[in-house]
Structure 1
Amino acid sequence: MIKLMSRQCILGVLVALLSACAIGPQPLPDDPAYAPVIPAATEIPKPNSGGIYRPNFSVALFEDRRAMRVGDIIAVILSERTQSSKTADTEISKENAISMDAGTVLGVVPSLGDYNLQTAINQNRELIGEASSDQSNSLSGSIAVTVSEILPNGLMVVRGEKWMTFNRGEEFIRIRGLIRPEDVQPDNTILSTRLADARITYSGTGDLADANKQGWASRFFNSQYWPF
C-alpha cells in the first residue's frame, strides 16, 4: 500500500512537471488559417457581336480598383503602440497576546513538577509585498493580406502572413481581422488600428528565438506548480 502511494505521488509530480514544461509546436509557414483564398477562375464567355456587355464578365467603367471581392489584396500598415504601468503595495500586520494567570492555591502557585500553570503567548505577524510592472511595445511596417470572406453586413474578413528568413532563423508576422470597405484607401491600404477583432502575431524561430527562451527547468521553477 505504501509503495503504491509512493508511486502515485511520483507520477503526480511528473505530470505536473511535464504540464508546466510542455513546449508547444513550432509555427510553420503556409498555415491554412492564414492562407490566401484564390477565387474560382471566371469562364470566358463566347464572343457576342450584339453589344459590348457580356454576361458574367466584369465591366467596371465607373468604379475604382479598391479591394472588395474575395481574393483581393490589401496592404495593412502596422502602427501599433501599447504602454502599460502598474504598481501595487501591500502591508499587513497583526499582533496577538494571550496571558493566563493560574492564581495561587493556599498562597502557592499550582505546578506540575518543574512547570507551573501560568502561560503567556505573544504572536506577531507581518506581511509586506511590493510589485511593479512597466511594459511598452511598438510594431511598425506593412504586410499584404487577402480578403477571405465577405460577411452579410458588408464587412470583409482578411488574413495573411509574411515570413522572412535570415541567417540565424526566421521571423514572421500574421494578421487576421475584420475591416470596413470604406476604411480601405484608394491605394488599397489600411491602418492596422482599423482592424476589428484583430489578431496580430509577431515572433520568430531559430537560434535567436531559442536564446531568449527559458530552459525547461527554469520554466518549472518559475511556474505556478512550484510550491515555494
Structure 2
Amino acid sequence: MKKVATLTLLIAATACGRLEEVGRAPSFTPLEGNQEQHAMLVPGLPAEITPTRPADQASLWTGSRGSLLGDRRAMQRGDILTVVIEIDDSAEISNSTARNRSGSENLGINGLFGIPQRLDERLPAGASMADAINTTSTSASAGTGNVRRNEKLELRVAATIVDVLPNGVLSLQGSQEVRVNFELRELLVTGFVRPEDISRQNEITYDKIASARISYGGRGQITDVQQPRYGQQILDIVVPF
C-alpha cells in the first residue's frame, strides 16, 4: 500500500510540473549553476609560467595562445570547442532457420518360447503381442528474423571543457536548446577527448569522444502527444501479459 501511495505522489508531482506549461511554450533550462558555467567561473590549476623577454611580448610570432600563430585549441578548463556529430549508420540482419525430424519405431514379439501365443489367449479380443509397440513421430520447426536499422544525424554543438583529468584527458560537456513555437529541441553531449585529437579549427568529431553520450530529443506539445500516458506506461511495466 505504501508503494502505491509513493508511486501516486510521484506521478502527481510529474504531472504538476508539466501542467505549468499548459498554454505556453516550454521554458529553457537555466544557465546559472550548471557545470559548464561553473567550469568557466572557477579557474583551473595555474599554468607553468616561462620567463619571456620584453621583445617577445611585442612579437606577433610567439607561441602564446594570444599570438597570431598561437595554438588556440581548447586545452584547459573553461575553454570552448565545437563537437561535430555526423552519424550515418545502417544495419540489416536477416536470419532464417528450418528443421525437420521424423522417426518410426516398431517392436514386435512373434515368437519367444511360445510366450506371445499364450499371452494372446489372455488378451482382449483383437489384441496381439505380434505388434507389441508401434511408434511414429514427426516434428518440424521454422523461424525467420529480420532487423533493419537506419540512422542519420548531422549536428554541430559548442561544448565546454569542464575538467582536465590527471592524465591530460579533457572532460567536455555541451548543451543546445532551440525553441520553435511550442516545441523545444534539446541536444546534449558529454564525454572525454584527447587534446591531440582536437583539430586546428578547434573542432572534434564524435567518433573521437570516449564514453560519448549524445542525446537529441525535445519536449513540448508534439512530444507529449507522441508519448504514451503515464498510466499506460505503468501498465506496460506491471502487467505480465
Percent of residue pairs identical: 19
Q: Which of 135, 139, 143 is residue 157 of structure 2 equivalent to?
A: 143
- Residues 193 and 114 (structure 1 numbering): CA distance in 2 closer, same or farther, change over 3 Å? same
The reply to whether residue 178 of structure 1 matches residue 180 of structure 2 is no
User: One-letter code of the match for 1:146?
Assistant: T
Distance 2:29 2:234 in 1: 27
Match of 1:133 among 135, 143, 147: 147
CA distance in structure 2 between the partners assigned to 1:219 and 1:91 by the alignment: 38
User: What is the alpha-carbon distance in structure 2 between the residues aligned to residue 86 and residue 180 of structure 1?
Assistant: 35
Larger mean Cα displacement after TM superposition, 203-212 or 78-87: 203-212
Q: Offset of 1:113 from its aligned partner?
A: 5.8
Q: 1:164, CA displacement in angstroms?
A: 2.5
CA deviation after TM superposition for structure 1 residue 107, in Å:
9.8
CA distance in 1, matches of 2:120, 2:31: 88
Give the length in aligned residue pairs: 191
Distance 2:101 2:30 in 1: 60
Task: Determine if the alignment matches structure 1 residue 94 to structure 2 residue 101.
Answer: yes
Q: Does 1:164 align with 2:178?
A: yes
Could you list the runs of 5+ residues in structure 2 that have no partner in the other structure? 1-13, 18-27, 45-52, 58-63, 111-115
Instruction: Please state how far the C-alpha of 1:207 moved relative to its aligned partner.
Output: 4.4
Q: Greater strand percent: which structure?
A: 1
Larger Cα-atom Rg:
2
Given the two structures, how large is their TM-score scaled by the length of structure 1? 0.63
The separation in 2 between residues aligned to 1:74 and 1:205, in whole angstroms, is: 26
Work out whether residues 172 and 190 of structure 2, in 8 Å CA contact, stay in contact via their aligned partners in 1. Answer: yes
Specify which of 72, 82, 100 is matched with residue 79 of structure 2.
72
Q: CA RMSD in A?
A: 4.3
Q: Tell me which protein shows more helix as a share of its residues.
A: 2
Given that 2:120 and 2:128 are in contact with CA atoms closer than 8 Å, whether structure 1 keeps it comes out as no
Q: Which runs of 5+ in 1 are unaligned?
A: 1-24, 43-50
Counterpart of 1:105 (choices 109, 112, 117) is 117
Shift of 1:79: 1.2
Counterpart Cα distance in 1 of 2:181 and 2:148: 33
TM-score by length of 2: 0.60
1:42-53 aligned at under 5 Å gives the runs none
- Partner of 1:112, secondary structure, is coil
